[in-house]
Each structure stands twice: as C-alpha cells, then as structure tokens.
A = this chain, B = another copy of it.
C-alpha cells in the first residue's frame, strides 16, 4: 500500500510503498477513505513531542473495514467507520471508571511493529493509527460504525478535531444553557468548541484568535463576540464583555502556555478553564497565581474531549444529519495523498480549518 512516511522531523513526507501486518486478535484493518490533517500530526512530524522517525502520522480518519482479526465481533468487512487514535481495553482501572480515554491497557501494536518499508525498516505507527496510508491496522476500540449515508470525508473530522473541541464543552466542562463561554483559538478544534457551546445553549460565546478570517469563521459557528488577540489584550477584553467577572468557561484550544494562563484569567470565581490543545514539550510549562484559583476557579485538562467514542460519535452523526452540526464548513480543501506535503504546509501556515486527504 501507499503511505506518506516521515523519515526526518521537519522534512517533507515521502510517499512510498509500505508493508502492513495482518490484524491480530481484537484488531481490524480499515481501508482509508479520508484523513484530515490535525495540528497534532504536525507536532508529531516536527518532533515537538519527542520520539524518533521514521513514523507514519495521521489519526483523524474514516474508511471501510477491510479485514478483522480473531475475537472481533462488533464489526464486519464493509462497515463504514470513523477511526480515532483513542483506544481502550475495557478492562483496566480507567476503562472501568468510565474514562476509556485514560485507558492504561496494552495492545498488540505495542508489542510488535505493524508497518515496514520495502527495506524492512520499521515504521512507527504515529498516534496509534498511521492514517496517512491506504490501510490502517488498529484496535477494534478505535473504530465506530457509522451509517453508509454519512459522507466519509466529513465523517473523518469527527475522529479528532470535532470530538476534542465539542467534547471539551459537552463532556469535560458540561456547559449549561445560558452560560458564558470563551474559546481561545478558532481553528479546527476551537470552532468545534464554539459550536459545542452554541449547541449547549450558551448565550455568550466569545472567540479569541490572532486571525480575522478565523474569527469570521467563528461567527459562522455561533460566536456572539470576537476578540483579535493581536490588536487587544484578550483578558481585559473578555472581562469587559462579562461585567468584569470573567466568563463561566474558557476553552484553550491552542497549544500555548501563554494562552493557558490567559484563559485561566478569563474565568470568573467558580469558573472553569479547560486545557484542550497540547503545547509542544518546550512550551508546556504555564504559570498561574494561586490566589486567583483560591477564590474557587478550576483549571482542568480535557483528554481529547473526554470522549467515549461509541457514545459520542453516534450523537455527532445524528446532530449532523439533523443539520445542527457543521462539518462541511470545516473543510478548507481536499488533496490526494501525493499532495500531502502541500496540505500540511497550508495547515501549518494557518490557512486551513481542516485540509483533508482523499484516498
């Protein structure tokens, strides 16, 4: 099969033929139909989170089940599925307390490599998925069946960007109708926090970004106010929009320690600041004044929207079917696999909400 391999951090991906294993017990092979490019892929192939190349990235995917391993009972060849990096064993401490996104189980793909190039060099399976390839071998917990009527190029967005942004609002923070929300970053994740807040009935949705065209997009997704952080102090601007108290909730969807600190200062006493985006290792330390929190504020991390795939993906598909969840508007451009480097560069330049590779 063809795949886009990262042989050196920061260099263009190499499109080449790659060998993929047969599925082990509990695994499925999915023929990739579409895979969006997420900033986490870029962090991964730029070396921002450590690790070693060669690696195949890509983790926001959808496709069709092509093969199943032993012990796979919920999926059949031909099923349309969303494929996510989230995997869960169903038996560990965290799975059993309803936090499958914190699963500490081990999987066949941890034990032995599943991808090799023609020379037999092992290719790491980036983010447990390696979706920049024509086929993926993943654990059955990473896939969710969707209706064949759901277009796969839009379905793939559900696998990461949508659940991360939407889930932070709906699952992690449980935003209630009538509340006031700030979303820092109006990109592929942030817009989904904006529409999550709108769907949850928030009455004040303040989007913060450095780029006016992203703020304009945020309005389309339900933002009631926008702040360009390049031209005003975003903390002061939020306070002035919220009677000086701050908002009930802030979602920091950009991976930046500065934005995390700003987000924490945008919430009122009793408010909740949610860390959604993952900063690079170099920028991961943020600082806060303890007195600010002592008055009853919360900072919480949202592990991929606290998503339970089999619960959340069907809900999102139904919201899309009802015309209430925007997905079409998230796609900036579609690319074939052999133009993936262009797609990545465009994403890196901040031009795109989501660029999608179509197989």
Contact = CB atoms under 8 A, between A and B. Distances in A.
A300 interface: yes
Contact of A301 (B275, B287, B290): B290
Contacts of A281: 291
A303 B294 contact: yes
Contact of A99 (B270, B278, B302): B270
A236 B97 CA distance: 24
A94 interface: yes
A245 interface: yes
Interface of A is mostly: mixed
A293 interface: yes
Given A101-B296, A278-B294, A94 B269 contact: yes
A204 interface: no
A301 B291 CA distance: 8
A257 B288 CA distance: 10
A296 B285 contact: no
B286 A296 contact: no
A286 B264 CA distance: 13
A61 B281 CA distance: 49
Contact of A289 (B172, B284, B288, B299): B284
Interface string A157-185: 00000000000000010000000000000
A84 B300 CA distance: 30
A103 B303 CA distance: 33
B287 A293 contact: no
A296 B290 contact: no
Nearest to A295: B303
B288 A296 contact: no
A293 B275 contact: yes
Given A269-B94, A286-B290, A291-B278, A298 B296 contact: no
Nearest to A281: B291
A300 B297 contact: yes
A279 interface: yes
A303 B285 CA distance: 25
Given A102-B295, A296-B102, A257 B290 contact: yes
A28 interface: no
Contacts of A140: none
Contact of A97 (B270, B279, B292, B294): B270
B300 A269 contact: no
Task: Please give me the 10 A-B residue pairs with the lowest Cβ-Cβ distance, nearest first.
Answer: A293-B301, A294-B301, A102-B269, A298-B300, A287-B287, A296-B303, A299-B299, A284-B289, A284-B290, A295-B303
